[in-house]
Amino acid sequence: MLSPVQLNHCAAVLAQMLTFSQPADAVLSAYLRRHPKLGRNDRREIAETAFAAVRHYQKINAVLPKPAEDSRRAALAALVLGRACNISQLDSVLDEGEREFLSRLKACKSEFAAQLNTAAELPEWLILQLQAHLSEAEILAFGRSVCRGAPLDLRVNTLKGKRDKVLAQLQNEFADAQAAPYAPHGIRLHDKPALNRHPLFLDGTLEVQDEGSQLLACLVGAKRGEILVDFCAGAGGKTLAIGAQTANTGRIYAFDVSEKRLAKLKPRMTRAGLTNISPERISSERDPRIARLHGKADRVLVDAPCSGLGTLRRNPDLKYRQSAATVNNLVLEQHSILNAAAELVRVGGRLVYATCSVLPEENEAQAERFLVEHPDFIALDCAALLKAQKIDLDTGMYLKLNTEQHGTDGFFAAVFERQTA
C-alpha cells in the first residue's frame, strides 16, 4: 500500500500520464528527475501504481469520466484493481467520497466482465481493428495477456560469455533466473531486478533485450565478414545482437532518422566490444547516402516503425496514443521503407521485415504485398531457418509471436531472399 506522500506523488504523475499526450515512461522519468529526494522504494511504488492505472484505464474510465482531472481517485482505483489492495487497507487515507467511489468500483465487477473493452482492457478503436481478424474470445485472451507486466529478458553477448556460465552466475544471485525458452543466448528474470550497475552489464556481457527481439536477430543469420544493414536501428538492440553473430567482422551500417536514438547506440557498442558498426543518421529512407550500398548488402534488417501494439506489457499507454488513423499512416511508411531497403540487397542476399505489432495490416499484408510487387524476391520459411539453428519454434512461413502463447512481446517477421538483379 502507498503512504499518503507516495499517493500524492502518484496522483501528480497520473494527472499528466493519463492525458496520453506523452509516453508514460517519459512522463514518469521526468517527474522522478524533478524529485531526486524520492527513495528507491518510493519510486517503485509510484511507478507500479501509475502503470497499474494505465493498464486498468478502461475500468477506471468507466466509473471516473475524467481520470486525469481526478488523478487521486485514479491512483486509488489502480491500487484496488491492479495491486490487489483491499479497501480496508486504504482506510487511513480515504475520505468518505473516496470510500464510496471505491465501493462503487468494486460493485462493477460483473459489469466489467460483461463488456469487451473493460474485460480485455482495450479501447474501442483497437477492438474494432482486431475484430476484422480475431474472434471475441481471441481478443479477450490478447487483452488479458498484455495487461500483465513483462519479465526482464537478457541476451548474453557471445563475444564476452557463454549462456550456461552466465546463467549459473546469475542463479547464485537471483533464484528465478532461467534460460529463455527459445532464444539460444537468452536469460529471463521474472522479478526484474535493477541490473544497470551489475558487473555483467557494465562489462558488456549482458544486454537487456526481449526474447522475441533476439529471435529476429536469429532470422537475420549474419555471417562473418558480411556487409549488413540495420535500416531502422534505433538504439541498436538488434544491431548489437547481429554484431555478436559476426564475431566483430565485416561491416554493419546502422541507419536511423533520429540522432538521439543513435547516440544511445554508441556507448552500447563500446560496452559490447563491437568495432564493426557504423551508426549513421539519415534524413529518410531515400537519403542519397544510402545509394552507395545499392545491391551490395548481404543482409538487411527492416525493423519498421509500427504501432508497437505487441509491446503493451511494457508500454500499456500505446493503445491510447495510437489510433486507426496513425496505423494507416504507419502502413504507408512501412511500405516505403521496405521498398527502399530492398534496393540494398545483393542477389542471393537476405531481407528481413519485422514489426512489434499484432495487426495483420502491418504484418502479413505488408509481406504479401511486397512479394507481389517484387517478383525478384522469394519468401523463406522462418520455421525452417530457426530449426537450422536448433530453435524449436514453428509459427509457419512467417514468425508470429504473441504474449499469451510464447511469453514474449508480440513480434512479426518475414524473411525474403533476392533471386535476380
> Cell triple for residue 363?
504484418
Q: What was the pLDDT predicted at 420?
A: 86
Label residue 159 exposed, middle or buried (CB < 10 Å: 0-12, 13-18, 19+).
middle
Q: What was the pLDDT predicted at 307?
A: 97
Report yes or no: 296 and 33 within 8 Å, Cβ to Cβ. Answer: no
Pick the CATH number of 155-208 from 3.30.300, 3.30.1600, 3.30.70, 1.20.1250: 3.30.70
Find the mean pLDDT for residues 192-218. Answer: 94
Q: Which of 147, 232, 306, 356 is catalytic?
A: 356
Q: What was the pLDDT predicted at 329?
A: 98
C-alpha span between 116 and 270 (Å, rounded): 48
Give the model confidence (pLDDT) of 93-102 as tens digits: 999 999 999 9
Can 356 be counted among the known catalytic residues?
A: yes
Residue 191 has pLDDT above 90, yes or no: no
394 is in an annotated binding site: no
The CATH topology of domain 4-114 is N-utilizing Substance Protein B Homolog; Chain A (1.10.940)
> Cell triple for residue 356?
512489434
> Cell triple for residue 173?
544471485
Residue 192 has pLDDT above 90, yes or no: no
- The domain locations on the chain are 4-114, 117-147, 155-208, 211-418
Residue 421 has pLDDT above 80, yes or no: no
CATH class of 211-418: alpha beta
Q: What was the pLDDT predicted at 286?
A: 93
Q: What angle do CA 352, 353, 358 make, to 5 degrees?
A: 135
287 is in an annotated binding site: no
Q: What was the pLDDT predicted at 386?
A: 98
pLDDT band at 194 (very low <50, low <70, confident <90, very high): confident
Assign residue 172 a region: left if phi > 0, alpha if psi is -120 to 50, beta otherwise?
Answer: alpha
Find the mean pLDDT for residues 358-383. Answer: 98
Give the model confidence (pLDDT) of 277-322 as tens digits: 999 999 999 999 999 999 999 999 999 999 999 999 999 999 999 9
Q: What was the pLDDT predicted at 193?
A: 87
Within 10 angstroms of residue 91's Cβ, the number of other Cβ atoms is: 9
